[in-house]
Amino acid sequence: MRFMAETGFTSENLSSILSKSSKHAGDAIGALFGAKGDLLLLLSEGRFTAENLSSILHGSGKHAGDAIKALVGVRADLLPLLGQGRFTAENLSNILNGSGKHAGDAVRALVGAKDDLLLLLGEGRFTAENLSSILGSSGKHAGDAVRALVGAKDDLLLLLGEGRFTAENISSILGSSGKHAGDAVRALVGAKDDLLPLLGEGRFTVENLSGILNRSGKNAGDAIRALVGAKDDLLLLLGEGRFTAENLSGILHSSGKNAGDAIRALVVKEPLLTAMLEKFEARSISRKLSGHAAHLSDAIDALYNSVKSELNATTNIPAGAAPELAAQSPVASRTSTERDAS
Amino acid sequence: MTQTARPDFTARIEQSRALVYDLRVTLNAERRYFIIRVERSRHAAFLRAVERDQGFIFEDFGDILHRGWDEPDEDLKADLRQRFGMYAD
């Protein structure tokens, strides 16, 4: 209790730090309490809150003491990364979240790459939030992730410089790619010429594509290659004019590494979709299928089976369907009021 | 001018008189919406059928203009607001 009062850590913070310590819980608690002086030093400087530190040290368990010492040891080097137009403590704690016993290596990697990271920040480039989103939760691989991102900085700046992708688009695609950020960036850069035919009037917007690839995370490379591999099929679906780019990207939203399979399922199941489109709103179908990219073929079958009785026949509303008039045109409203009055 | 204006005018009159409902039901354990234009001569029967909840066939009362799951999205609502004055509040 005294430890909590002195450091400002809540029981949730402590449990987050000590989680995974399992049979070493005793050692972990000892290490944490033994590092109280170092913790107070970090907190007293007012740059990190108890929440930030708990996020960074999450799961460090019996290595909590070492991790705190490493953090204290490099805190002076972290300072150039913090401040106006640079990173906030929240950004850094998001990047280092869960780095646990590797916190020391992760912090040293961040510090070692600070010049390159600062180069990526700035007007017309990335915000600290963008970079933190890309590197977020890379955990014990934070060091590798930072090095990979910085290693691909020329490619990233090339993508931005061409003006087709914004920093938000790229960050949406690469979000949480963590230690795979380097591979993901290289895949994105390598595929950019193949992605271009998908973009343009009557085709996809960059936002559509980044929506499809959103959260592909560590699989961003595979997802981009899958998307490019299926581009002819996608253009075929668009060319038939039944689905718009918004509908398709809605169905495929966040399909990530499953993008290729999901697109192929759309093409194979096109007759079922076309049958449903005869009676159902494309946007509603798209909303219904959204989030099922991993099993899209099954999802389309299930949806079709649930409505096929309506497609070629009258629409039977069974007893007990609890019909409810949610809205009506003004004249319908007036007419039913007159009916009630009479 | 008159020749091109007349269809618009007729359409506007028709739309202002249309008996259109957004009806929600539960089918196969899923919430569904149907935007239905009810024939004037079948209007009272339609309202009775809805009230009684003893089962009915939509096409007995009019045409289904749109259908989907959950509820119409904002774009469709905006379209229906413009065409039929629905969702005005």
| Chain B residue set in contact with A, beta carbons under 8 Å | 16-28, 30, 33-34, 38, 43-44, 47, 50, 53-60, 64, 66-73, 75-76, 84-88
Residues 6+ away with beta carbon under 8 Å from A169: A206, A207, A209, A210
Q: Which of B14, B25, B63, B64 has the highest number of chain A CBs within 10 A, making it the mutation to test binding with A?
A: B25
pLDDT, mean of residues B45-50: 94
Nearest to A309 by CA among B25, B79, B57: B57
pTM: 0.62
What pLDDT sits at residue A23? Answer: 65
Give chain A's residues under pLDDT 50. none
Burial class (CB in 10 A: 0-12, 13-18, 19+), A2: exposed
Q: How far apart are the first and last CA of chain A?
A: 73
Q: Is A254 left (phi over 0), alpha (psi -120 to 50) or beta?
A: left
What pLDDT sits at residue B6? Answer: 56
What pLDDT sits at residue B60? Answer: 94
Split at pLDDT 50, 70, 90, the class of B67 is very high
Q: How many residues does chain B have?
A: 89
- Which A residues in the span 268-287 are in contact with B, Cβ-Cβ below 8 Å? 279-281, 283-285, 287
Q: How far is Cα A130 from Cα A133, in angstroms, rounded to an integer?
A: 5
And the tokens for A47? 């740059």
Is A47 in a helix, a strand, or coil? Answer: coil
ipTM of the complex as predicted: 0.85
Split at pLDDT 50, 70, 90, the class of B2 is very low
Nearest CB to A281; choose among B17, B66, B85? B66
A 10 A CB-CB count for A61 gives 24
What pLDDT sits at residue B3? Answer: 45
> Which residues does residue B19 pair with via DSSP β-bridges, in sequence order?
B38
Q: How far is Cα A105 from Cα A118, in angstroms, rounded to an integer?
A: 19
Q: Which of A289, A308, A315, A316 has the highest number of chain B CBs within 10 A, making it the mutation to test binding with B?
A: A315
Could you tell me if B70 and A287 are in contact, meaning their C-beta atoms sit under 8 angstroms apart?
yes
Checking if the pLDDT of B75 tops 80, the result is yes
